[in-house]
Structure 1
Amino acid sequence: MRLPDWTIRNWTDELGSADVEPAADAVAGEFGTWRIRYEVGRWGIDERGSIKVAFRQVSNWGAPQFDDPEGANYTTVRLHSESEAVLSPRFERRGYIRHWRQALTVDVLDGCLWEGDSIEITLGDTSGGSPGLKAQTFSESNFEFKIFVDPFGAGNFQPLPHSPTLRIKGGEARRLVAIMTSEAAVGEKGWLLVKAEDRHGNVAEGCSEEISLEAEGADLGPPDGLRFGGEGVALVRTEEISFEGEGVARVRVRDGAGREALTNPVVVRGRIEGPRLHWGDFHGGQTAGTVGVNSFEEFYRFARDAGALEFTTHQGNCFEVTNEDMEELKEKTRAFHEPGRFVPFLGYEWSGTTPMGGDHAIFFFDEDSAIHRCSHWLQTDLSDADTDRDHITKLHAQLRGGGALSLPHVGGRPANLAFHDPELEPVIEIHSKHGMFEWMLEESIERNMKVGFVAGSDDHYGQPGACYPSEDVSHFAARNGLTALYAHELTRESVWADIKARRCYATSGERIYLRFTVNDHWMGEEIDASGAPRISVEAVGTGPIERIEVFRGMTRVHTEKIAQDLKGNRLRVLFSGARVRGRGRSTLWDGRLTLSEARILAVEPVAFVDNRDRIDVSAESGISWSLYTAGDSRGFNLELDGDAGEMAIQTQHAELRRNIRDFLDKPAMVDAGRLGQRIEVGKAPAMDGPWEARFEYTDDDAHSGLNTYWVRVVQVDQEKAWSSPVWVNLA
């Protein structure tokens, strides 16, 4: 991204200079104090001139405030000058232009500033009792306090030649994460990744513990002697997991600090014929050239080494990404391409408004491909503006017949499925860090679109494949999704062919194993049949499976209940849905629950986001809470001392009141409108139920003509997987 046209020169001493203390590494999500000292340049600053300390649009630093010395993020501004001028500070989330959208602005009033005068900004001033300023919750190798100056008060803010920078690193290790290959044959060797994460999901640093591995389930041979290096990030990978017997295997990982983790399942077969399962992301996200952070190299390195992705793409907003950026991205995409280990694709995000077609991730088979933007809105080089394609149909016409694919998705600008191109769009994205978009899946089926389902990161924090919800839902409300692809080989040719064949499924971030066939045909296929379709499902979860639902179109024709209900007076309350399709989609469910006679013995959160969702008050007679949903589901389990009396739930969106016995006898749901907003109450499922399920179902009620079959796997922890459909033309 480049600043608007009036940024036409490289400044020297005209605008001044700035530095920050301390310049040492900051810890993500921790409170601290940083003093920025800006020295006025040769031109001075006129009365009603200003400076801005700008933060990236995606940054979630605490918002500086100037009124409460004891409160978090208290900030002071002092002038060192003989001038009679005074300073007036303010902080605005939309105080400048993308991608430096957030800005602390200091206006100069009642006088002017001269060369050598200085402004001292103390971010997180603790002198009055404040804990300091809270740093952003994600790591960044070169965070910049971007300084802009408008010496004339004309509204034309120009950047300093050099702005203060510091490194933001992961915090103290809080949990282990272990990931391994999902499918293998007896006698093969596979890979295992172990990492330590801080409470925000960053890879921790400085761990040196030895790691022990213990096989669970099918026979496998884990290696000995793994350990975190002690220097740098806490991450280690081995390629020496040997698979010695058929079945489902996992590895329990422990370190010397008492932390432990269990890997995703690996299904081991005697032999594997045909495609096998690989994990990736066709919408990895963006970096510092546009609206994200870090470099292209850091993006690909994290995706491969920490995100454990086997294929991905980088997707910079087209109206920001420059031609120079695209050339560098081509170079890095070639450099990281390693068939059998990591397959990146060149890409960008066509970021037209929804009336123009909405967001589409564009990716190419090879690097010798040209970008066609929706516009040059934030570009200064207009020499190739004639290559813009300002409607998605124009872009599709340009790309059709070549080595390109288009992925409709929901980001800032929801894709408009009315402009679907079957040749270029074999799949659509139904989950990302922006939320869960089952409404898009539903719309595709209602439009009779023959598309598969994928999920991705759309990450702007430099963490594709392993990015978590922000505490501030105005940034990212959900964790990343993942695409599971059955590919014949981990090569560019095979990944390309198999995604076009729609041999894939989406998950909400967990590596849930899923095989789904109709009459022995893979997901993604269209087949002819003369009898009742026979549906086969095999699922292995990363936790207990609650249920597996079989759909024909949007009609649920079968539910395979896996987890049994808990005995006794145990209820689950779930909240789901989203406000709108676009930005600001998250629904805030502030509410309270009261009991007329029974008493609460225990409350257990379900799918809460750490550091964001919370139980505010918990008493025997009721509770109150604050949580968000963005198309997904979360809530809590209750254990009661009896079933007498009523239970009432009140939120700003809907209310639900019934006798407790009625809730225990039959689940209840109230529709709260918008996009699937609802409250559900029923018996709580067992947390220790089966992690695996295999079944067949014959749909005797299938109708003649086209039948669209797909399945949804729902775990007890509310993690989900969605198969791509099988389309059955029934005689």
Structure 2
Amino acid sequence: MSVYYDDSRDIYIVVPLRDAKSHPSRSSIDLLLPTRSFTGECYLWIYTEAEHPVIKIENETFLPHEVVVRDGRRWLFMGKKYLKLNLASPLVVSFFGLTDPSDDIFLITSNKGFIPRGGLADIERQILGYSRESLGVSQIIPNVTTVGRPVKFKLIFTAGRTGIKRGGRIRLTIPRIFSNPQIKDPDGDGYLRIVKADAQLEIISIEVSRDSWEWVDITAEFKEELKPGGKVIIYYKAERTQIVPFRYERTDRSYWFSKMPPMAISVMPNKRCYFAPLANGYSHTLTFKADIPERLHLIVPSHARTGERIVLHGIFTDKFRNLSDVYPLHTDVRLKLLGRDWEEDLGRPSGFYGRSAFKMLLDPLPEGVYRIRADSSSGRFSSLSNPIKVDNDSSLGLYWGDIHVHSEMSDGIGSPESFYWHARNIACLDFTALTDHACYLTDNEWLWIQDLANMHNKPGEFVTFIGYEWSGKEGDRNFYTWRNELPLFRGTDPKTNSLRKVWRLIEGMEEDVIAIPHHSLSNAKWEYHNPSFERLIEIYSMWGSSETADTKLWRMPRYGISVRQILSTGSKLGFTAGSDNHDGRAGFSGEGAYYTSIYVPLGFRSGLTAVYSNGLSRREIFYSLRRRRCYATTGERIIISFQINDLCMGSEGVWDGSARIRGEVHGTDLISRLELIRNGEVVWSMQPNSMDVAFYWEDYQPPDDLVYYYLRVKQADGNLAWTSPIWLTKMTPESPLL
């Protein structure tokens, strides 16, 4: 896919339909239109052998108007349409009646007089005046590097047979998660310089790309002609790189989230040409691989009943929590079971189900709270598991999940298949949801995503919800269902671009659909809150925490409102936490770096949601979420029990003279502070300095009307947890007896 455009020239969007999406249940194919910021009348063409093709854009249908045959190639003019294009909201285009679209081409242009001829390479030559293969070739050294380590890159560009005229330009693109490029301080981070050029070359600008807020473009202009075969060598020092393993190999700039390798080159051979990326196969690739194994993560269920055997998972990762491909793995680890005042040797890890992960089945344990410790003489893999509570309670289990993750299906990386494998086998989650952005999904892609979620759902073992992220006028909401399908609403569609419109469309589905707002500090608007669907709010993710307006766990501008401000309006919302991960890795994202994902805003580790439920199925987990029987953490599996007057978290009750507050917390580190929040204020606290604590406190101050309480837990390692609130209403003659 290619987009050729600048402010003073016509736009051309060229799409090979072999890139379009299909589904066995549908006769149409569809695609997400590559786009730029553009408004104006455009002309639609299709290259196809089909007799009666049909194109649909924004509910408007286009049929063939004119047939143009040149050099034996058949193009159909499909009509014209006034388009308003912007980077954040690409259009979905659907095609019907195509017999074999593998060689078909779709073209949109604002040039009324442009008559296409020939195939894909011919069209590019017609638009550009040259072929992309003739622009040149690039090489980067090193082309394989390790995540998180400083790198000194050397880019070598060799001009193709087109050469570059005086006044022509080259443009290098660097993702913004890398060190900011600069040309003034040779000793500073991000220093970039032209080491060699066979023609005089001058850097004229370094700025955030107009094609994506996630890229920095460096533009250099030739002051004299670079002849074919001429070379340019550019040096770039990056102390900050990404911590996510990935192979960059695409060169197109079709979308703002396209994944180009750092220092990807586009060429403008002369002043009258468009910038064009090097052809695939002519541009360099760059692979980031995981570092050596340095950490061992031990994960056990948070709850087990007496008589049940317990599964211990162990995951070896590098320091950023990536699975390492450095083998063989030699460890000196011994595992020990820790009780209240005793320990038992469990031997060495066994039961490996991959080179980096093992699973051991432990014998049943008597009632109590336990942890597993890994001891290593080198200290390299010493670690402690999350706590597990064993009791005879057969009613509720405690389950962990991450229901806010993105993949390559929208603006992330990683396939849906690898997402589910990672969530179940590496993150060891009980439930999850892939929530790609609705506005970047075609209808056929949405059918595939629902199919995959249903296929991976295994009641009693691993629960997968169908969900997506809606972004519209009132901010962002994630929609979920426990059923096998969910209507797709795009915030970019005029029919569903506001919450009022969406609420009307799903009226009557209150028991089947939940909508969860997230990073409310960023952009949430609360005028159209619907308590029938919005039962929860995501209080924490890799963006940070939206708990309070003055939180320190936030780096971005604050245009929205905090969770406490929302609660002060009388809204009754339980708390969840997730990752908002864009690496296709639920519940176990990168950590230990300034940016923990592939995008600039994400600088914190992924969170987790804990749910108390009668069972591990879609219906039961969903029902517990609707009832707000859940709490949020910054990624640690902290066990929390919290009740007021025998009401569990998320409940509503009536003030009966006092609030008798009790609970217990079992941490993954020392619990440094417990805080009880009442209507936005801390009314009680304690500093246990212990990993296990039980507490009781009674509040005699009656509410004026409605009062909410929630527990905030802080560990010595800085990790946090928040219980869903409990609400008490002042007793009135009309108050129901509970």
Instruction: Report whether the alignment pairs 1:357 with 2:474.
Output: yes
Q: SS where residue 132 of structure 2 aligns?
A: coil
Query: CA 1:527–1:505 in 2, change beyond 3 Å: closer, same or farther?
Result: same
Query: CA 1:98–1:729 in 2, change beyond 3 Å: closer, same or farther?
Result: same
Query: Which aligned pairs between 1:553-632 and structure 2 lie closer than 5 A?
Result: 553-559=679-685, 561-563=686-688
Once the two structures are superposed, residues 272-326 of structure 1 have per-residue CA deviations (whole angstroms, 9 ceiling, x without a partner) of: 2322111112213x23444333333333333333323222222333443444543
Q: Which amino acid aligns with 1:361?
A: N
TM superposition score normalised by structure 2: 0.70
Q: SS where residue 283 of structure 1 aligns?
A: coil
Once the two structures are superposed, residues 239-290 of structure 1 have per-residue CA deviations (whole angstroms, 9 ceiling, x without a partner) of: x133311111000013464330011111111x22322111112213x23444
The answer to whether the 8 A contact 1:502-1:523 is kept is yes
Query: CA 1:357–1:45 in 2, change beyond 3 Å: closer, same or farther?
Result: farther
Q: Which amino acid aligns with 2:375?
A: R
What is the CA–CA distance in structure 2 between the aligned matches of 1:490 and 1:3, rounded to whole Å?
47
Find 1:135's aligned residue among 241, 258, 263: 241
What is the CA–CA distance in structure 1 between the aligned matches of 2:588 and 2:273, rounded to whole Å?
40
Query: CA 1:482–1:35 in 2, change beyond 3 Å: closer, same or farther?
Result: same
Find 2:629's aligned residue among 472, 482, 503: 503
- Unmatched 5+ stretches in structure 1: 125-131, 376-384, 564-688
Instruction: Report whether the alignment pairs 1:283 with 2:409.
Output: no
* Paired position in structure 2 for 1:418: 527
Instruction: Report whether the alignment pairs 1:215 with 2:221.
Output: no
TM-superposed deviation, 1:230: 12
The answer to whether the 8 A contact 1:280-1:465 is kept is yes
Query: Which aligned pairs between 1:113-512 and structure 2 lie closer than 5 A?
Result: 113=226, 116-124=229-237, 134-142=240-248, 144-145=260-261, 146-151=264-269, 153=271, 157-162=275-280, 163-206=283-326, 207-209=329-331, 211-217=333-339, 224-226=347-349, 234-238=356-360, 240-255=361-376, 257-259=378-380, 260-269=382-391, 271-284=392-405, 286-323=406-443, 325-352=445-472, 356-375=473-492, 385=493, 388-402=495-509, 403-410=512-519, 413-439=522-548, 440-467=562-589, 468=591, 470-471=593-594, 475-512=601-638
Range with greater deviation from structure 2 (178-187 or 701-710): 701-710
Q: SS where residue 440 of structure 2 aligns?
A: coil
TM-superposed deviation, 1:236: 2.7
* Paired position in structure 2 for 1:97: 211
* Paired position in structure 1 for 2:178: 61
What is the CA–CA distance in structure 2 between the aligned matches of 1:724 and 1:520, rounded to whole Å?
15
TM-superposed deviation, 1:156: 5.1
What is the CA–CA distance in structure 2 between the aligned matches of 1:526 and 1:416, rounded to whole Å?
25
Q: SS where residue 417 of structure 1 aligns?
A: coil
* Paired position in structure 2 for 1:533: 659
Q: SS where residue 272 of structure 1 aligns?
A: coil
Q: Which amino acid aligns with 1:481?
A: G
What is the CA–CA distance in structure 2 between the aligned matches of 1:401 and 1:115, rounded to whole Å?
67
TM-superposed deviation, 1:453: 0.8
TM-superposed deviation, 1:536: 1.9
Q: Which amino acid aligns with 1:434?
A: W
Q: SS where residue 541 of structure 1 aligns?
A: strand
Q: SS where residue 300 of structure 1 aligns?
A: helix
Query: CA 1:717–1:245 in 2, change beyond 3 Å: closer, same or farther?
Result: same
The answer to whether the 8 A contact 2:202-2:222 is kept is yes
TM-superposed deviation, 1:90: 4.8
The answer to whether the 8 A contact 2:337-2:346 is kept is no
Instruction: Report whether the alignment pairs 1:14 with 2:132.
Output: yes
TM superposition score normalised by structure 1: 0.71
The answer to whether the 8 A contact 1:25-1:169 is kept is yes
Once the two structures are superposed, residues 126-180 of structure 1 have per-residue CA deviations (whole angstroms, 9 ceiling, x without a partner) of: xxxxxx6653222224464144444465795444442432331221333332222
What is the CA–CA distance in structure 1 between the aligned matches of 2:466 and 2:595, rounded to whole Å?
31
What is the CA–CA distance in structure 2 between the aligned matches of 1:119 and 1:110, rounded to whole Å?
13
Query: CA 1:140–1:724 in 2, change beyond 3 Å: closer, same or farther?
Result: same
Q: Which amino acid aligns with 1:400?
A: E
Q: SS where residue 13 of structure 2 aligns?
A: coil
TM-superposed deviation, 1:188: 0.9
Query: CA 1:2–1:327 in 2, change beyond 3 Å: closer, same or farther?
Result: farther
Q: SS where residue 308 of structure 1 aligns?
A: coil
Query: CA 1:426–1:41 in 2, change beyond 3 Å: closer, same or farther?
Result: farther
The answer to whether the 8 A contact 2:640-2:666 is kept is yes
Instruction: Report whether the alignment pairs 1:518 with 2:644.
Output: yes
Instruction: Report whether the alignment pairs 1:28 with 2:150.
Output: no
Structure having the higher Rg:
2
The answer to whether the 8 A contact 1:253-1:262 is kept is yes
Range with greater deviation from structure 2 (186-195 or 6-15): 6-15
Q: SS where residue 251 of structure 1 aligns?
A: strand
Q: Which amino acid aligns with 1:692?
A: D
What is the CA–CA distance in structure 2 between the aligned matches of 1:406 and 1:107, rounded to whole Å?
47
Query: CA 1:545–1:725 in 2, change beyond 3 Å: closer, same or farther?
Result: same
How many residue pairs get aligned? The number is 575
What is the CA–CA distance in structure 1 between the aligned matches of 2:352 and 2:571, rounded to whole Å?
50
RMSD after superposition: 3.3
Once the two structures are superposed, residues 437-483 of structure 1 have per-residue CA deviations (whole angstroms, 9 ceiling, x without a partner) of: 11222112201111101111112344431232642595333222211
The answer to whether the 8 A contact 1:455-1:483 is kept is yes
TM-superposed deviation, 1:410: 1.1
Query: CA 1:133–1:714 in 2, change beyond 3 Å: closer, same or farther?
Result: closer
What is the CA–CA distance in structure 2 between the aligned matches of 1:288 and 1:52, rounded to whole Å?
26
Query: CA 1:320–1:164 in 2, change beyond 3 Å: closer, same or farther?
Result: farther
Instruction: Report whether the alignment pairs 1:549 with 2:675.
Output: yes
What is the CA–CA distance in structure 1 between the aligned matches of 2:395 and 2:619, rounded to whole Å?
15
Q: SS where residue 545 of structure 1 aligns?
A: strand
Query: CA 1:489–1:17 in 2, change beyond 3 Å: closer, same or farther?
Result: farther
* Paired position in structure 1 for 2:693: 693
Q: SS where residue 350 of structure 1 aligns?
A: strand
What is the CA–CA distance in structure 2 between the aligned matches of 1:114 and 1:364, rounded to whole Å?
60
Query: CA 1:181–1:90 in 2, change beyond 3 Å: closer, same or farther?
Result: farther
What is the CA–CA distance in structure 2 between the aligned matches of 1:103 and 1:73, rounded to whole Å?
12
Range with greater deviation from structure 2 (72-81 or 203-212): 72-81
TM-superposed deviation, 1:122: 3.9
The answer to whether the 8 A contact 2:144-2:288 is kept is yes
The answer to whether the 8 A contact 2:132-2:277 is kept is no
Q: Which amino acid aligns with 1:436?
A: S
By relative contact order (CA 8 Å, sep 6+), the higher-ranking structure is 1
TM-superposed deviation, 1:486: 0.8
What is the CA–CA distance in structure 2 between the aligned matches of 1:705 and 1:111, rounded to whole Å?
77
What is the CA–CA distance in structure 2 between the aligned matches of 1:703 and 1:442, rounded to whole Å?
17
Q: SS where residue 430 of structure 1 aligns?
A: strand
Q: Which amino acid aligns with 1:140?
A: F
What is the CA–CA distance in structure 2 between the aligned matches of 1:103 and 1:155, rounded to whole Å?
21
Once the two structures are superposed, residues 416-435 of structure 1 have per-residue CA deviations (whole angstroms, 9 ceiling, x without a partner) of: 12321111111001111111
What is the CA–CA distance in structure 2 between the aligned matches of 1:509 and 1:546, rounded to whole Å?
17
The answer to whether the 8 A contact 1:514-1:538 is kept is yes
Q: SS where residue 700 of structure 2 aligns?
A: coil
Q: Which amino acid aligns with 2:697?
A: Y
Range with greater deviation from structure 2 (272-281 or 543-552): 543-552
The answer to whether the 8 A contact 2:2-2:14 is kept is no
Q: SS where residue 302 of structure 1 aligns?
A: helix
* Paired position in structure 1 for 2:201: 86
Q: SS where residue 332 of structure 1 aligns?
A: helix
